[in-house]
Amino acid sequence: MSQETRSLDYWMSPQLSEAGQGTGSILRRMALNDAQSRATFLMLYFWCAWLALVALALAFTAPGGAPYAVAGAVLTGGAAGALQARRRGRQVPTSRHPASSRAPRTVRGAWTGITLVAVGSCGLILALALSGNASLSPGSVTGAVLGVFFLVAFFAGTLLIPAWHIENAARLFRERIGQEPALRQALEEMSRTHSDPNGRMQFGPL
């Protein structure tokens, strides 16, 4: 069977995907680009919520800094909404080579990074407390606890959101294809007509 006559269902077959582990394809590029796009605006929404919580904490501890956190929340929320709208307006994800990223590609890797940040932050606070150079007043203790909480929360969202989407890119794209008839129709047509002049990149598997 020539590549031009293979259907989308053929390329999306779980058996074919399992057998073709590690093989590059147009569908896999689309899946990863789609996952990265979704993770980006969700991460910005997370930053918006994080900054809103920071602003709330600052309103009680350092009111002068609260407006800056609020402004940051508004800006990141607006950027997230713009990226989400752009993604919705693009029926078919791009098939270009996915952008390189330093983010962990697995949830396990993300948790490793979060654990290192948490342990390092707690260790630093403990070292300062034991050194005798830091005041142990109730206010300073509360500030230190809030600082560690917000720092760990920031890294948790920043690392986990992209890692989870990258790790589950194929499954998420498969679900999106099943939910969006227009996307499925476009991919079905592409699956029957795709041809790589260099013969290196097949349309599937997913």
Query: Going residue by residue through the chain (206 aa), what tens digit of pLDDT does each one get?
Result: 444 467 888 888 888 888 767 778 899 999 999 999 999 999 999 999 999 999 999 998 889 999 999 999 999 999 999 999 998 888 899 888 888 777 788 999 999 999 999 999 888 888 877 776 555 666 677 778 888 999 999 999 999 999 999 999 999 999 999 999 999 999 998 888 887 766 678 888 88
**DSSP states along the chain:** --GGG--HHHHT-HHHHHHTTT--BHHHHHHHHHHHHHHHHHHHHHHHHHHHHHHHHHHHH-GGGHHHHHHHHHHHHHHHHHHHHHHHH-SS---SPPPP--S-SSHHHHHHHHHHHHHHHHHHHHHHHHHT-S---HHHHHHHHHHHHHHHHHHHHHHHHHHHHHHTHHHHHHHHHHH-HHHHHHHHHHHHH---TTS--BS---
Tell me the whole-structure pTM to 2 decimals: 0.85
